[in-house]
Amino acid sequence: MTKTLHTRHVGITSLHVRARHCSNSWSQDGQAAVKLVNLFPAVQELKLWLSVEFVRNGDEMADFRPLKETMQSFGEWELTRGKVVVGSLPVSVDENEFHYYSDDLWDPSLNIDSDVVLTVLEGMSEWKGLENSSLEFYANCNGASLEPSDRLREAFLSCSRIQSITLEELKPADQMTKEDFNEFFQQNKLPVSFTDRP
């Protein structure tokens, strides 16, 4: 989209964006978010639907650094209202480097959703309009778990100004972890909720 746009549109204050982010250098313009912010510098209301597709090739780990940079780019807007909806999709690669969705990857043991949540939170933490924004995250499969870590807790804390965070079908790994998370959220007054898919 940004290839055909060259003029800054200072009169546009509201954007609804549907985008796909692909990990591991799979045909993507890493500067697309930066270009979008530069083209529409006066945006105050943002609705972003982001599908995160991670490519897993053997033991290769997904690289989430570009995702963090993408989310950081949107932080330049002085948002009065922001809504971010994120979902993750697993993609595999065959011997001909053909990318396809694989049933084998729809597996809660991958815990990839936890990494996506962590990365998105870190990317949003410095948003100028964070206190006017909300985040909804949809796990890629039933039973996906949220893996506890100091880094994840720091990521939640860094977004304490956000209006709300909703995690659908993404639950703490076990009862003890769930109790720890709930206590952590309550002690720090974090607006985080877990929901089930209807």
Which domain range does residue 36 map to? 2-195
HSE-up of residue 122 (Cα within 13 Å, Cβ side): 17
pLDDT for 89 equals 60
Average pLDDT, the chain: 79
Higher pLDDT, 105 or 173: 173
Return d(Cα 47, Cα 172) in angstroms, integer: 27
Each residue of 131-172: pLDDT tens digit?
A: 999 999 887 666 667 888 899 999 999 999 999 999 887 777
When divided into structural domains, the chain yields a total of 1
Each residue of 107-136: pLDDT tens digit?
A: 444 445 788 899 999 999 999 999 999 999
Q: Give me the CATH number covering residue 60.
A: 3.80.10
Evaluate if residue 27 carries a pLDDT over 50.
no
What are the φ and ψ backbone dihedral angles of 94, each rounded to 5 degrees? -95, -175
Higher pLDDT, 58 or 49: 49
Nearest to 71 by CA among 38, 48, 87: 48
Return d(Cα 182, Cα 191) in angstroms, integer: 11
pLDDT for 142 equals 60
Other C-beta atoms closer than 10 Å to the C-beta of 157 total 13
Each residue of 53-111: pLDDT tens digit?
A: 766 555 556 678 888 999 999 999 999 999 999 887 654 444 444 433 444 444 444 44
Q: Work out the average pLDDT over 35-53.
A: 91
Evaluate if residue 186 carries a pLDDT over 70.
yes
pLDDT for 48 equals 92
pTM: 0.82
pLDDT for 196 equals 74
pLDDT for 133 equals 97
Return d(Cα 144, Cα 34) in angstroms, integer: 31
Residue 167 in tokens: 């995690």
